[in-house]
Structure 1
């Protein structure tokens, strides 16, 4: 076992040495150029986190490519670690409702890429560890993992389309019931139907809230990406419930929430799939 591990490091030594030297050189340049360091730390916390993530992913991809000629096992480990950055650290802030369509597309793309990267990493590890496999066995392992990654990607994208469909339905339901509530109030502010109409609106808002609080790409809440940033989501729900209580078409809460609902529906409508 120790001889095998030692052999891996021996074969990967040139690439590892080059990567370490490159990282040290980059760090030295960054540390000595004060204006570069100051510019980095002047970024917001979110921007610094994204910058570090991007740098780590780029370094991981470079390490993977550099290690392939020397050690498939090491390349597989590097690729899995790179993919885990994306899978284990979902976005929580950093986009707005007008950018929701782009947010959905990029999250689907990067999540799918991470799933495929994980499968490739496992494939590299298997082929590197069992180096005496015949070609037929290697092809079988590769195809099995490739098909598995395709299934995982399809399941993830299907989930996103289904969620977008539910959100679109939820927004339409809220708008219809709010319109009915406003019409009843405009006809008679003391109508006996108002309490029931308010209750129906609150129920539809709760349905929409559950849909918007569902993660885009996975059922694991800690690993999935939100549809809306937390602050935007909470503000929208508060405005909608307030608008239902006020039952006034000209109410400030409804005036703020209504355009957001239209933008959310427009973004999700591009991914609607009733058959998903």
Structure 2
């Protein structure tokens, strides 16, 4: 504790010394840079406020129109409002992440390069689904259009596990992997709901009261499922972040007491911490169902990481730094979703 206070004091002293030694030009440039950042943040916040206002306004238009179209069985209106709600879903995600837009674009570019085949397959599949929905809706066959959407969403939920068993540079892309998996999992849930709503729209003889009840029930079920998915992700990231801290503390204690008589006990505690981390890394990211969920890391990467940690702990603790490097990367990525109250 005392070492941390001394280090903090030294950093503050160095900061004050560098500020005192700055020339007037350096201070002016720093002030201009800070002002530029402040204006940039204000502009981003304004964009978020405007974007949220547009999203809310659009929701008040599209949702009632979708209900009215489904009640009347108007296929063309259902099609327009269906894609309008889809655009609303994407716009909400974009507005929520606009403050990190530059980093998100960079990460997305890396993701597309590393998963070119998957991105191509997903794009072609999406185009195929859109064409099929348009075809059936143009023939006023709302039920078949809804069935296409349901099947596409179900395939995405089931195929996610096999599609992402391994990918290049998993540690560097960990943050984007978490974001995309949660986003597309929630989007697939939305697709299931939209498909079921199209099935409801196809039943023209359904009275108003049960139609409202079914629509409200499906919408609430979607909100609950999305909330559970995001909450699970936050809980897992929080647990991994905390467990990595436990592993690092156990390793530090082991290295500090290398020549003491507690070496065996400290090594056992460190190995137990690694075992707990292993269990967390094998936990599904977005759902507890093994058939549908995806791992936070590829199994090969996770096994290699744990194997190196166990081998280093069983041997010379001086070899641990290389084995510990990936833990910092994982902790930094998971730290963005740490939520102690999740």
Q: Shorter-chain-normalised TM-score: which range? A: 0.7 to 0.9
Q: CA shift at 1:139, angstroms?
A: 2.8
Matched, 1:203 2:276: no
Matched residue SS, 1:112 = helix
- The aligned runs of 1:1-276 (5 Å cut-off) are 48=117, 51-69=120-138, 70-90=140-160, 91-95=164-168, 96-128=170-202, 130-185=203-258, 188=259, 191-249=260-318, 251=319, 254-276=320-342
Structure 2: runs of 5+ lacking an equivalent:
1-74, 76-114
RMSD of aligned C-alpha atoms? 2.1
Q: Is the CA contact 1:57–1:85 (under 8 Å) kept in the aligned structure 2?
A: no
The TM-score with structure 1 as length reference comes to 0.76
Corresponding residue SS for 1:68:
helix
For residues 68 and 152 of structure 1, what CA distance do their matches in structure 2 show? Answer: 28
TM-score, with structure 2 as normaliser: 0.62
Distance in 2, matches of 1:241 and 1:125, equals 54
> Which shifted more, 83-92 or 148-157?
83-92
Paired residue secondary structure (2:173): helix
| CA deviation after TM superposition for structure 1 residue 247, in Å | 4.1
Q: Name the structure with the higher helix share.
A: 2
CA distance in 2, matches of 1:226, 1:54: 23
How many residues align structurally? 226
> What is the SS of the residue equivalent to 1:216?
coil
> Matched residues in 1 for 2:225 and 2:218: separation?
10
* In 2: Cα distance, 1:88 partner to 1:54 partner: 17
Deviation digits for residues 71-106 of structure 1, max 9, x if unmatched? 221111010111122100122111511111111011
Q: Structure 1 residues 50, 93: CA separation in 2 closer, same or farther (over 3 Å shift)?
A: farther
For 2:316 and 2:131, the matched residues in 1 are separated by 58
Deviation at 1:134, TM superposition (A): 2.8
